[in-house]
Structure 1
Amino acid sequence: MITPLTKLKPNAKVAVVGGGVSGLCFTYFLSKLRPDVQVTLFESQKRTGGWINSCATKDESGKPIMVEKGPRTLRGVSDGTVVIMDTLRDLGKEAMVQSIEKGCTADKKFLLDPSDKLVQVPDSISTTLKFLFNPLGKGLIPGMLGEWFRKKSPHPGQDESVESVLNRRFGNDYISKNMISALLRGIYGDDVALLSAKRTFKKIYYNELKHGSNTQAMFDNMREKSKNKKKDGHSQALTGCLNDYVMAFGKDKSNLLDLANTLKKYPMLGLVGGLETFPKIVRNALNEFSNVEIVTNEPVTQVIKSSSNAKTIGLKVQSGDKYEGFDHLRLTITPSKIAELLPKDEDSLSKLLNEIQSNTILLVNYYLPNKDVLNADQHGFGYLVPKSNKNPGKLLGVIFDSVIERNFKPLFNKNFQNSKALKEYTKLTAMIGGDMLNEHGVPVIPSKEVTISAVKDALNRHLGINNDDLEAGHWEFTIADKCLPRFHVGYDAWQDKAENRFQDAYGQTVSLGGMGFSRSPGVPDVIVDGFNDALQLGQ
């Protein structure tokens, strides 16, 4: 949370609503920091893990397969990833960690150009030249050369859309509607014309605010790094929350620094069995904690203010049962879902939370055994679809899961053999919709049949996969309903207002986490957010 939290009293009772990775990790950190605190976690579904869903299913012949219906990799350069990996190491599960090496096939990324051809995102001189001569590269060179000389915002410090700040800084709209629109669709499922620059594209926003331009920021940062090297030699320091993490759990600082430096070498990390392996491991660890209770398949329906004690809070669940006497309530679900739980006397707060809509993403998984239908030059992480593409199927992008899986190498357990590397198969995940599904703010969801048909057409046109192979494959369809909050212009100011309103209404008895209230919707980010708030409450 933006607003500070105060330490819990001895033997306090805490409720956590939401059993996704945010709620699980907050519970894990708090219960470790404060074994005297009793934590009850409530999850509406039978399973925990939230949108991280490594789904075990079977193909058309009945053989077991795993398809990812949510995130599948982590960024190596991230404080949250360091915390995840160190947690796995603490729990004796470091052998599960897999890595994608920089420059390998699975590290290649593509964009779809206006003629529905894949164009590689530049990573060499030859790919840069090809990109610049493609329509997707239009405006890039003059935009970058002139960026230093362009005027700053006439309203410095005021939020604006990503599209607005990019068009001003680069003097054209090609960069925003081509490269950056594709990137942010892949992360947020939303439109650059609507997304808050201050929230979702912080680097370019703050570079202009602090340095005047991104070019000037680059030179200033280079000078700063050079000064620090001369001053401190080659010593390195932990960044972000990691110093606090070291102090809170008595970690060896040099060991954690070594881990952080190791992870930075890898653009992507994954886990044996899929990314859901991590929340499953945390859940199993929590099952052994005597101060933690996990209540699943029991949706919370109402937050109850205590009539006898203004400093405690209660919850009502769908079965009608009530849980009372909590000294603190942690809410990790989306803002609109939080609004549904508030009592009627908090109607104005509910209205404020309902200002934040969420995007729905449709996921289509395709699996074909015994055959790789991707051409060798198409092998990579996958491709994203820019705003400049006509895109009748409302496709956000396609992830080449089989390429990623076959390129995974063990990070810590070097004796582990990746059997998938020897197999021929195709596994793809298409992401559809996001803001493109919305009509008057309400998502209009096409049927399973219509969606899969549109994906088949896209895979045929974009990748050249023939109809026989498409029809022979196994297909899965998933609706990730309202899974991503829409980070509209002014979101940070809205969040600050919402948190302050919660403190006015509930004092220190409520804190807010999850995708809607962390720095970013990424898995590492919500985990850092959970740790930071658990630390404030625990110490």
Structure 2
Amino acid sequence: MAPTGGSESHRKQIAVLGGGISGLSSAYYLTREFPSAQITIYEGSNRLGGWINTQVVDVGDDKITFEQGPRTLQPHRLSSLVTLDLVARLGIQNQIGFHHKNSPSSRNRYIYYPDHLVLMPGGDTSLLDQLTSLMTEPIFKGMMLAPIKEYSRPGRDNSLLDESISSFMNRRFGTPNMTNNIISAVMHGVYAGDIDKLSVRSVMRPLWNVEEEHQSLVRWLLRSILGHTRKRDSKELALERTMLKRISVSYDFMRKNARAFNFKNGMSTLTQAIASYLKSHPNVEFKMNESVRGVEYDVETNKIQVAFRFLFFAMANSDQIKTSRNCPPDIYSNCISALPASTLATLTPHLPALQSIHAATVMVVNLFYRNPDLLAVQGFGYLIPRSIPLAQNPECALGVVFDSQVEVTSMPVPGTKVTVMLGGHYWDSFSYYPDAEQGAAMAKQLLKRHLGIHVEPEAVLVSLNRNCIPQYYVGHDQRLTSTDIHLRTKFEGKLSVVGSSYTGVGVNDCIRAGMEVAAGLADSPEEGYTGLEFFRVPKPW
């Protein structure tokens, strides 16, 4: 989309709520679509980047990095192309490193069950070893016949609008072992969530759509092998063509040969580069330590509600932002919220469905050991399924990442670096959480029991990430359809939403949402853009 200049850009005053990856990306693309608009970014803390948080830790006479949030990005999805294009525009492509698809960190993924690490199919072993594992490991019990069962089962009833991941998998494959042992572990790694609550329609949309089109996942797979392809959304195809034209040959090579990529100096390289660009832009202003306390929309007819205890000054056709200092509200022609859905729901009474979007809390424990040969296996790490009873998982652990094998550059200090993830849906009912000392003790206890690591780490960093991963529970699509309607009727499309609460929890998803909301506002200056157009029934494309 070409930048929109002229008087319209001069009149625009745009607020962006939140300085995480979604807010920063939105602001970046707004500067390209509206080069003359005044853009104000509100951030409630004293740092930018949100959950992307690379920490540098002293180890003896040198330093190492710990990732307290996301650590790798996937290169194969459409949203990945958007990220790679952004990286190139920011001039940090030389900071990217990738894991070759044949490397152990790419191929070897483990699940802990019932009392040891089990290498998943596709790992760096012979075909005979993999077949032996499928037939002898308890984790795979009943899975050999699962595809046959799935092929013969009827498709879902058209009246079924959504269901949980566990319900879908059990209904399709009739093998609870696969659901409880493998699918639950995967969802622990991505969402830290409960598969009895997570929506298959929202979390595993391709599988939901395949069943609708082909009645069977295995039937579709066989047709794909024979050369039949699924129908693709025209908007998706257009975006893919645009992005593929932009990326370089080296990026295309990486997409075809990499399993994941990250940055040589940590994931914060990306957010810092976006922030540096924005700080150098003459029309961008940051308001740090500013917690927004209310968002409202005024119209000339005065048909608007005042948000609880806040006084809003009347101003036609503008969004108003009330900040934590109880100052008079700032006036904007558009507002983009990159805040968590539940936080936005407290700022206005007009988006009630957002109150139901829960988020999981995860404690991240980073540990560094001097011995570089501490791990007996090579790979990305391992996940822990819900089938491991809490008596055997008292730490409520979700999984462990082998960071020293995952990172694309060698550490300046020889050693072993791992990250233990605790909590998630296991902690949903907790009224308080373990402190840093308790978290470190639990992580060390887990590593001792699972991996036989008895030595003390040289460095430990504990971070409690409260409400960090939104949970797309059953009915998520319907909630967002309702929110889209309210954004149009109560805010006239002047308030848009982006971020992990809505259309994907990954970094790539958030960057793509930021690009699309800026383009949407440029393409629809009168109607506005909510950020939830995908959920309209029927869809607008």
Q: What's the TM-score bracket when you normalise by the shorter of the two chains?
A: 0.7 to 0.9
> Is 1:506 aligned to residue 491 of structure 2?
yes
Could you give the per-residue CA deviations for residues 45-90 of structure 1, whole angstroms, max 9, x where no partner exists?
Answer: 111111011112223x364221000001000102222222222222
What's the C-alpha RMSD, in Å, of the aligned pairs?
Answer: 2.6
Q: Read off the aligned partner of 1:105 and give its amino acid letter.
A: P
> Is 1:433 aligned to residue 418 of structure 2?
no
> Is 1:107 aligned to residue 97 of structure 2?
no
2:400 counterpart residue number: 398
SS of residue matched to 1:481:
strand
Cα displacement (A) at 1:163: 0.4
1:369 counterpart residue number: 370
> Is 1:358 aligned to residue 359 of structure 2?
yes
For 1:8 and 1:80, the matched residues in 2 are separated by 32
1:98 counterpart residue number: 97
> Is 1:153 aligned to residue 156 of structure 2?
yes
SS of residue matched to 1:160:
coil
CA distance 1:463–1:48, change in 2 (3 Å): same
Aligned length: 496
For 2:172 and 2:233, the matched residues in 1 are separated by 32
> Is 1:317 aligned to residue 323 of structure 2?
yes
1:58 counterpart residue number: 58
1:463 aligned to which of 448, 451, 457: 451
Cα displacement (A) at 1:455: 1.4
For 1:113 and 1:282, the matched residues in 2 are separated by 38
Cα displacement (A) at 1:144: 1.3
| Structure 2 alignment gaps of length 5 or more | 1-5, 299-312, 524-541
1:473 counterpart residue number: 458
CA distance 1:262–1:36, change in 2 (3 Å): same
For 1:132 and 1:155, the matched residues in 2 are separated by 37
1:533 counterpart residue number: 517
Moved more, 506-515 or 81-90: 81-90
Moved more, 302-311 or 207-216: 302-311
Q: Read off the aligned partner of 2:285 and give its amino acid letter.
A: E
4+ residue segments displaced more than 6 Å: 237-240
1:138 aligned to which of 141, 147, 151: 141
> Is 1:263 aligned to residue 246 of structure 2?
no
Q: Read off the aligned partner of 1:361 and give its amino acid letter.
A: V
Cα displacement (A) at 1:241: 5.1
1:79 counterpart residue number: 78
Cα displacement (A) at 1:243: 4.0
Moved more, 423-432 or 175-184: 423-432
For 1:156 and 1:261, the matched residues in 2 are separated by 44
SS of residue matched to 2:65:
strand
Contact kept in structure 1, 2:156 and 2:215, CA below 8 Å: no
2:15 counterpart residue number: 15
TM-score when normalising by structure 1: 0.86
Q: Read off the aligned partner of 1:211 and give its amino acid letter.
A: H
For 1:224 and 1:20, the matched residues in 2 are separated by 42
Say which structure, 1 or 2, has more relative contact order (CA 8 Å, 6+ apart): 1
Contact kept in structure 2, 1:82 and 1:260, CA below 8 Å: no
Moved more, 317-326 or 291-300: 317-326
Contact kept in structure 2, 1:156 and 1:209, CA below 8 Å: no
Contact kept in structure 2, 1:113 and 1:135, CA below 8 Å: no
Contact kept in structure 1, 2:62 and 2:413, CA below 8 Å: no
Moved more, 183-192 or 290-299: 290-299
Q: Read off the aligned partner of 2:315 and give its amino acid letter.
A: N
> Is 1:179 aligned to residue 167 of structure 2?
no
Moved more, 288-297 or 7-16: 7-16
For 1:322 and 1:196, the matched residues in 2 are separated by 41
For 1:351 and 1:459, the matched residues in 2 are separated by 43
Cα displacement (A) at 1:164: 0.5
> Is 1:445 aligned to residue 430 of structure 2?
no
Contact kept in structure 2, 1:79 and 1:242, CA below 8 Å: no
For 1:238 and 1:93, the matched residues in 2 are separated by 31
Moved more, 176-185 or 284-293: 284-293
Could you give the per-residue CA deviations for residues 168-194 of structure 1, whole angstroms, max 9, x where no partner exists?
Answer: 111121111011110011100111111
1:41 counterpart residue number: 41
Report the identity percentage. Answer: 27
Cα displacement (A) at 1:254: 6.7
